[in-house]
Structure 1
């Protein structure tokens, strides 16, 4: 590679624009090249912002297909940026999708000069229990016809071509095999396979445990762990695998940079058992972060998704379980985010989990009070910590929030929440006077 002199223009990596001047003979190719230059400019800006969901694009299960009909899901309107930096989405209205294991290619005329516009071919998904990613990617097709003529045709139309290029999106399912990969321990490999084999029958606890394992398989595989075994090693060796790129975006064989993952679903012969959005959903975050995750960067996008995934799972478990007051945490969750919120049951009051039963097998100290301002700081700090492995039997801190407890005790029946954090996080319940309320102070034991 030859060296460039200072002040020499380096033009071979820049965007090529069509130069317009008086008297130039323009062709369709010239105009298409200029359109592509604008698209490349927008893609580079999109990559600078970072891939992920900008707004909306939530996925709801409308019909699980247990009656033999096709399962249906609703995707809400919204926008996203894919790995190429392209803006894709549904800017105006929601859409309803009918899921199918057999997919025939659509009958449209694609705009072939778009990077992600090629139509999908025939696809056959395997029958039986399977885990799938619902992905969205951009598509473009010609709409309408316009006459065309050549230079020697004296303005007489000799044919026609597409009048407009209409941009849109398409959705597809990509099979995900969570037990594959070098970052899956033999124990988890066997647990995945056992759950997948047995969940053809209706076992709610098994559903919950599989959902938890799938969530952390997507959110926290070994390649995306915030700190490797030796946190200083990457400062002396250039190991790309120790970096968290693309905003911690979900990676799966079969997905490419054109795709934006929207949801993870578990589909058996009896229908779709659950849809987990936050297992694969990532909010936009710039692609550059600190080495090893020691400096805040895209890992915060994963930490945010981890909390959302857990809270959505807890809400579904609370609504679907017949006796939530008998639920024990370790029977439904193998991994927890570094901080989370648990709705508790009061009488009278909304349904919830039993504080004693839910945390029965979890090592923890007596509950302490914190305040709402501390709660915000607690969750902000939790993004720097790894998830909790329930099987490790490590200490977990548990708190009540003073404002929430006061409202429940004085205003009327309200839901009370317990907040837990990883034992690796600093303890927020140190002995201190509460700024406004004596009954909610913490006392040190002598």
Structure 2
């Protein structure tokens, strides 16, 4: 066995392990650990046990569960379908006023951090702990979900030397990536686990959507996905517009600079289909997974046609102005 210790790859003094149990949402963290293993051959000690006769010093890790402060109202069984989405955005700081302070005072980052994870620092979560996942446990039912990207992040600078860039610095960029990946992982689980994905409504499972996302579609033989008319039911959307695949990555990249969408506000969503995907669906041979891209109405419209670029039978035209079926440029 490996006992908890400082670990040879970094000084660490995590708080003592506290046993947690019961219905709740927990943060799984990993920290360095080390311990002694085996007994080295020794002589001249008169059979007395000594702390210096360990054969090996073993490096390892230890795992802990930390309870996140999620309200009892959110933990209610009636809210379980939306709980994963709510907790993810609470971890990302979407619901924390301190996370939006840049909009009213863009000179510095919040000194105390924001979001559910920062609320655990420094008494429960130390710089030595690496958040791995959020999990929801319900007594009598076990684990209800495991969400990686609600807390998993790539490396980023801790702060920004230029105050004016605090709201657009590394942390914002990293969280924007995690926001997109968290949604895509969540929607994939729904696609695979829902009894009938075509009957899934966004408002039944999501309180927030990312500023842009990719929705797998069904309705074709051999595919399993969502019906976009049902999924976006009750929300403000425009009819899907065809775009070239060359615009997909730039659209998703641009979207990271925009905030998530709160569905209760019913703000506009642009809908796009990608020409290459649609063309492959109408061709001969094996069919790919059809998909649709949605984007926040705050993001500029990406459906403008381009002569000598757009394909005639997989394109749209520029109208004199926005309409229900054909938004203008």
TM-score, normalised with respect to structure 2: 0.83
**Farther off after superposition, 110-119 or 352-361:** 110-119
- 1:434–1:441 CA contact under 8 A, matched in 2: no
- What stretches of structure 1 of length at least 5 have no aligned partner? 1-105, 150-155, 180-192, 200-205
Q: Does 1:197 align with 2:55?
A: no
Residue aligning to 2:267:
394
- 1:110–1:118 CA contact under 8 A, matched in 2: no
Q: Summarize deviations over 1:236-289 as a string: whole Å, max 9, x none.
A: xxx4417979xx994242211111010101101111111111101111223344
- 2:93–2:116 CA contact under 8 A, matched in 1: no
- 1:340–1:419 CA contact under 8 A, matched in 2: yes
| 1:107–1:442 distance in 2 versus 1, CA, 3 Å | closer
| 1:40-55 paired onto structure 2 within 5 Å | none
Displacement of 1:115 after TM fit? Answer: 2.6
Q: Does 1:131 align with 2:21?
A: no
- 1:147–1:157 CA contact under 8 A, matched in 2: no
Displacement of 1:147 after TM fit? Answer: 7.2
- 2:6–2:32 CA contact under 8 A, matched in 1: no
Equivalent residue for 1:372, pick from 220, 227, 245:
245
Query: 1:111, 1:194 → 2: CA distance?
Result: 39
Residue aligning to 2:289:
415
- What stretches of structure 2 of length at least 5 have no aligned partner? 321-329
Q: Summarize deviations over 1:397-438 as a string: whole Å, max 9, x none.
A: 110011111111114432211101111111101243461510
| 1:285–1:111 distance in 2 versus 1, CA, 3 Å | closer
- 2:273–2:292 CA contact under 8 A, matched in 1: yes
Residue aligning to 1:353:
226
Q: Summarize deviations over 1:289-338 as a string: whole Å, max 9, x none.
A: 45354544221111111111101110111111111111111111110111
| 1:160-179 paired onto structure 2 within 5 Å | 161=52, 162-179=54-71
Equivalent residue for 1:255, pick from 125, 136, 139:
125
| 1:295–1:112 distance in 2 versus 1, CA, 3 Å | closer
SS in 1 for 2:118: coil
- 1:148–1:160 CA contact under 8 A, matched in 2: no
Q: Summarize deviations over 1:115-139 as a string: whole Å, max 9, x none.
A: 3267944x33242x21001110000
Displacement of 1:108 after TM fit? Answer: 3.6
Query: 1:249, 1:400 → 2: CA distance?
Result: 36
Q: Does 1:432 align with 2:327?
A: no
- 1:265–1:273 CA contact under 8 A, matched in 2: yes
How many residues align? The count is 307
- 1:117–1:139 CA contact under 8 A, matched in 2: no
Q: Does 1:241 align with 2:110?
A: yes
Residue aligning to 1:265:
135
Query: 1:353, 1:422 → 2: CA distance?
Result: 19
Q: Summarize deviations over 1:173-229 as a string: whole Å, max 9, x none.
A: 1111134xxxxxxxxxxxxx3341325xxxxxx433111101111113436746633
TM-score, normalised with respect to structure 1: 0.62
| 1:227–1:340 distance in 2 versus 1, CA, 3 Å | farther
Equivalent residue for 2:149, pick from 278, 294, 309:
278
| 1:355–1:433 distance in 2 versus 1, CA, 3 Å | farther
Q: Does 1:330 align with 2:203?
A: yes
Residue aligning to 1:39:
none
Q: Summarize deviations over 1:80-136 as a string: whole Å, max 9, x none.
A: xxxxxxxxxxxxxxxxxxxxxxxxxx8848469963267944x33242x21001110
